Amino acid sequence: MVARKLKVAKKAKVSFSRRKSTGFAAAPQSNFRDFNDYCRTDLDKKDCSSKIKSYLKLTLPKAQAQIALQAPEWAFTSIPFVAATIAWKEMKNEFPVWWDAEKCLNRHVGEIVERGKATGAKKEIEVLVPGLVKKSIQDIVKEKTSEFIAGIEAIIDGYTPSDHKNQMTYSVYTEMKKIDAPYNMAKAIVDYYTPQRDEVKELIDMKTPDLVEAYAFLSIPERKKWLEFLNLLITDAEKYMASKKAIRATRAPKVKTADKQVEKMKYAKDSSEFKLTSINPTSIIGAMRLYTFNVKSRTLSEYVCEKAVGFEVKGTTLVGIDNDLSRSVRLRKPDEFMPTVLSKNANLINKEWMTLKTKTSNDINGRINKDTILIRVMAK
């Protein structure tokens, strides 16, 4: 038997695709501006936080680093430009002239340390008195405001006068609309940037020597552009405040029931001398005209309401009196005039009133007391 040689097929070579770069490795490294933009828009927040925390551990004394690391997570994730600065520095790349890396790092590291101190203090209180420290709505808004301002600071840190036209397209108003920011957040932005805006305005208008020296790195046209940019931030926030105020629901005043309004009113229920009985005081509420009679002074009063909703009562006082149309008169013979008040309409009562010899007064205060009979109300 002739042995056959078996031809063994060669195993095809399998090629594996290269793993896609992620994190800082995926960022464009041709220049710092593009690198920073990538970190701001595409970098995972965890990578941002991790980079800053590692930097704190390496550069701060151990005790201070421990304090800084107690800061809330948003204090790290809200400043991607700081993470970009650290990463660019670690790669030993040169920063552009418009970017002061050390100033940026010192400022924001200091803020993180302060936030860490505040968080640590709250934790200590919580340990001593469990349940005492609870995050209020105000605390949450304050944290969110700090996070939002940190985002604006990233834009400011990247501002260059040469790219002024493009950077003027940034809108605080639009960014706040995206997150439906509360009114107080917009106000905090106005309060935060107004002093800086005023300082630059003083630099341009007054040419204060100290400020001229401080802003020597900017030419006069560049200072004006910088002022324009700061004004944009503030006016955008002010417009947002106005929009929030415009749509804020108007709180309807709580209307008391008629029973509640008259529960403290003191009046005479009846008078055997003049044979008069008071109407139910609740009928005064919403009426447009009221006649009363003081049994002690024999004064007849006609109250006319100036409000479309009719009379209201606060305590013992009638509210909504038209002082020009309301009047009072002392009756010499109440028994003769009172039937007119009890049965006639307002026009006929007025006609009879004009025949009275005693003087009519418009000095009328609307106070009802224990001697007052509530005679009659009318709808007009």
CA torsion sign, 204 to 208 to 214 to 217? positive
Task: List pLDDT tens digits, range 310-322.
Answer: 999 999 899 999 9
Closest CA to 108 of 83, 87, 90, 89: 83
Residue-averaged pLDDT of the chain: 85
Contact 282, 256 (CB under 8 A): no
Helix, strand, or coil here: 317?
strand
- The residues pairing with 374 across neighbouring beta strands, listed in sequence order, are 292
**Burial class of residue 101 in the structure, from the number of CB atoms within 10 Å of its CB (0-12 exposed, 13-18 middle, 19+ buried):** middle
pTM: 0.44
Task: List pLDDT tens digits, range 11-63.
Answer: 444 444 455 577 898 899 999 888 988 888 888 889 999 999 999 999 999 99
Closest CA to 277 of 256, 258, 300, 295: 295
> What pLDDT, on the 0 to 100 scale, is given for residue 197?
93
Contact 214, 187 (CB under 8 A): no
* pLDDT(340) > 60: yes
What is the pLDDT averaged over residues 4-10? 43
> What pLDDT, on the 0 to 100 scale, is given for residue 253?
65
> What pLDDT, on the 0 to 100 scale, is given for residue 121?
66
pLDDT band for 375, please (50, 70, 90 cuts): very high
Helix, strand, or coil here: 228?
helix
> What's the distance, Cα to Cα, between the start and end of the chain in Å?
131
pLDDT band for 380, please (50, 70, 90 cuts): confident
| 61-70, 241-250, 270-279, 311-320: the lowest-pLDDT one | 241-250
> What pLDDT, on the 0 to 100 scale, is given for residue 304?
94
Size of the chain in residues:
380
C-alpha–C-alpha distance, residues 55 and 108, integer Å? 12
What is the pLDDT averaged over residues 287-300? 94
Task: List pLDDT tens digits, range 136-193.
Answer: 667 777 888 888 888 888 888 778 888 899 889 999 999 999 888 999 999 999 998 9
Helix, strand, or coil here: 78?
coil
Contact 327, 301 (CB under 8 A): yes
The share of the chain scoring above pLDDT 90, in percent, equals 48
Q: How many CA atoms lie within 13 A of 45 on its CB side?
A: 7
Task: List pLDDT tens digits, range 295-311.
Answer: 999 999 999 999 888 99
* pLDDT(123) > 80: no
* pLDDT(127) > 80: no
Closest CA to 121 of 57, 70, 61: 70
> What pLDDT, on the 0 to 100 scale, is given for residue 39?
87
* pLDDT(134) > 80: no
In sequence order, the 6+-apart residues with CB closer than 8 A to the CB of 133 are 122, 125, 126
> What φ, ψ does residue 328 adopt, rounded to 5°?
-145, 155
| 210-219, 244-253, 283-292: the lowest-pLDDT one | 244-253
* CB neighbourhood size of 363 (10 A): 8
Task: List pLDDT tens digits, range 220-230.
Answer: 999 999 999 99
